[in-house]
Amino acid sequence: MHQARIVGVGMTNFGVHDRPLPELFSSAAFDAMDDAGVDAPAIESFYLGNAMGGQTERDTHLAPTLASHIGLAGIPCQRYEDACATSSNAFKHAVRAVEAGQHDIVLVGGVERCTPTTGLDTPEMTSVFASASHRQYEQPTGLSFPGVFGLLTTRHMHEYGTTEEDLAAVAVKNHRHGTYNPRAQFGSETTVEEVLESPIVASPFHLFDCCPFSDGAAAVVVANEEAAADLSSESVAVSGVGHATDTIPLADKADFTATQSARDAADQAYEQAGVGPDDVDVVELHDCFTGAEVLAIEALGFFEDGEGGPAAANGETALGGRIPVNPSGGLKAKGHPIGATGVAQLVELTEHLRGEAGERQVEGARRGLAHNLGGDAGTTIVSILEVDA
């Protein structure tokens, strides 16, 4: 089996972009191709993540459209959709194709626009996001996506004593990290008081517990070890990718606080990489809501079940702490353009492993883990990147 490596990365700023999806994606794709040092003819396949273009912008069959815009027409192109885990799923399939020897060099990316530039206001976009919950047994109740994570987090608070202050500390930490990230949507700090005083979106989440609506794009070039060796760019190994799902609707999940798909995906990724949580230096995880970060750090094995609540307040997950989580600012501060989020996590980790992350650099990072969750933890993909593998 071949060793898949990330040989080039690129992403746009996350925030508001008033450009059509092909133009927005081209910026990230060209940055990744230029970073890798590969031209269009070297790319053998294109894996795209876009979750909602059909609903938000009446824009479908996007993979060949985007490929045509960036000079890749003719090669096999495919779009993946798994709610917020969309572009990690595209990445997984690209990695497997490279590992299997099907392709030597591939482009993987994601693009999405979720802000009012799409023409959709907050209730309409809330409704589009809610389409990732069960159509018959959840959507008619008026459940929103903050509400989905509200249900999971409220149960965690009940079982373990996690507090609203614990949740707010996650937002404070990720906002602070975001101030070091020039690509982040939010570049200012916040406080526990400010989070708790912001209006409720869906309990227990205040506005500042929630990630924003964002536009953006991200891309990576994946190559096998032979192609990577022929390039002058600094590459990192993809040493493990795990992918698992859990039951939908939410009510049928065995355990609301386990986020079982994350545990199963992490087990697979750790086993493939031959490592465990103690071997990870830097983490980018899916903090769509502050409670999601608490659930994730437990599911990934960085904290015992029930001990994830105080982690941010205690500084354990901050830059300089025991296990730095979301140095980019995470979805919370960096932003969350759905289809671009998973690949953007890999862009961030690659920069840390190369020592190129600037003010937010995790010093000496040799191994990074990305956790990208889709829907109500219905899908989770965990990827491990390494310098030395």
Partner 1 sequence: MSDTLPDPLTHAEWTAALRDGRLLGQRCGACGNETAAPKAACNECGSREIETVELPTEGTVYTETTIAVAPAAFEGGYRVAVIDLGTEGNARVTARLESDADIGDAVAFSDVLEVDEPVPVFG
Minimal distance in Å, beta carbon 310 to partner 1? 21
Match 């990305």 to its residue by tokens.
Answer: 370
Closer residue to partner 1, CB minimum distance, 96 or 155 = 155
- Part of the chain binding partner 1 (CB under 8 A), chosen from 5-13, 143-151, 220-228, 323-331: 143-151
Closer residue to partner 1, CB minimum distance, 83 or 236 = 83
Quote the CA–CA distance of 146 and 274 in Å, as a whole number.
35
**Phi and psi based region of residue 58 (left: phi greater than 0; alpha: psi -120 to 50; beta: remaining):** left
Q: Out of 2, 77, 84, 211, which one is annotated catalytic?
A: 84
Minimal distance in Å, beta carbon 165 to partner 1? 19
**Contacts for 63-66 with beta carbons within 8 Å, 24 or more apart?**
65/21, 65/22, 66/21, 66/22, 66/25, 66/26, 66/29, 66/109, 66/111
Closer residue to partner 1, CB minimum distance, 257 or 361 = 257
Q: Which of 42, 137, 192, 198 binds partner 1 (CB under 8 A)?
A: 137
Closer residue to partner 1, CB minimum distance, 166 or 376 = 376
Quote the CA–CA distance of 221 and 176 in Å, as a whole number.
30
**155 forms part of the interface with partner 1 (CB under 8 A):** yes
Closer residue to partner 1, CB minimum distance, 130 or 382 = 130
Closer residue to partner 1, CB minimum distance, 54 or 76 = 54
Minimal distance in Å, beta carbon 253 to partner 1? 9
Q: Which H, E and C letters describe 158-221, residue by residue?
A: HHHCCCHHHHHHHHHHHHHHHCCCCCCCCCCCCCHHHHHHCCEEECCEEHHHECCCCEEEEEEE
Q: List binders of partner 1 among 254-313 (CB under 8 A).
A: 254, 256
- Determine whether 177 is an active site residue: no
| 287-296 as b/e: b if 16+ CB within 10 A | bbbbbbbbbb
CB 287 within 8 A of CB 368: no
Binders of partner 1: how many residues, by CB under 8 A? Answer: 37
* Straight-line distance from the first to the last Cα atom of the chain, in angstroms, rounded to the nearest whole number: 14
Q: Out of 134, 156, 175, 336, which one is annotated catalytic?
A: 336
Closer residue to partner 1, CB minimum distance, 106 or 152 = 152
Minimal distance in Å, beta carbon 199 to partner 1? 7
Quote the CA–CA distance of 158 and 167 in Å, as a whole number.
14
Closer residue to partner 1, CB minimum distance, 247 or 268 = 247
- The contact pattern for partner 1, residues 218-257, with x = CB under 8 A and - = no contact, is -----------------------------x-xxxx-x-x-
Q: List binders of partner 1 among 325-364 (CB under 8 A).
A: none
Q: Which of 3, 102, 117, 139 binds partner 1 (CB under 8 A)?
A: 139
Q: Is the dihedral of CA 85, 86, 88, 89 positive or negative?
A: positive
166: closest CA among 309, 268, 34? 309
**320 forms part of the interface with partner 1 (CB under 8 A):** no
DSSP lists the bridge partners of residue 48 as 79, 109
- Determine whether 93 is an active site residue: no
- The contact pattern for partner 1, residues 182-211, with x = CB under 8 A and - = no contact, is -----------------xxxxxx-------
- Part of the chain binding partner 1 (CB under 8 A), chosen from 27-35, 72-80, 133-141, 212-220: 133-141
Q: Which of 126, 163, 272, 314 binds partner 1 (CB under 8 A)?
A: 126
Q: In this structure, what token pair is assigned to residue 357?
A: 């992350």
**122 forms part of the interface with partner 1 (CB under 8 A):** yes
| 229-256 as b/e: b if 16+ CB within 10 A | eebebbbbbbbbbbbbbbebbbeebeeb
Q: Which of 49, 146, 212, 324 binds partner 1 (CB under 8 A)?
A: 146
Q: In this structure, what token pair is assigned to residue 292?
A: 């999601």
**Phi and psi based region of residue 119 (left: phi greater than 0; alpha: psi -120 to 50; beta: remaining):** left
49: closest CA among 11, 101, 8? 11
Task: Tell me which residues touch partner 1 (CB under 8 A).
Answer: 122-124, 126-127, 130, 134, 136-144, 146-147, 150-152, 154-155, 158, 199-204, 247, 249-252, 254, 256
Active-site positions read 84, 336
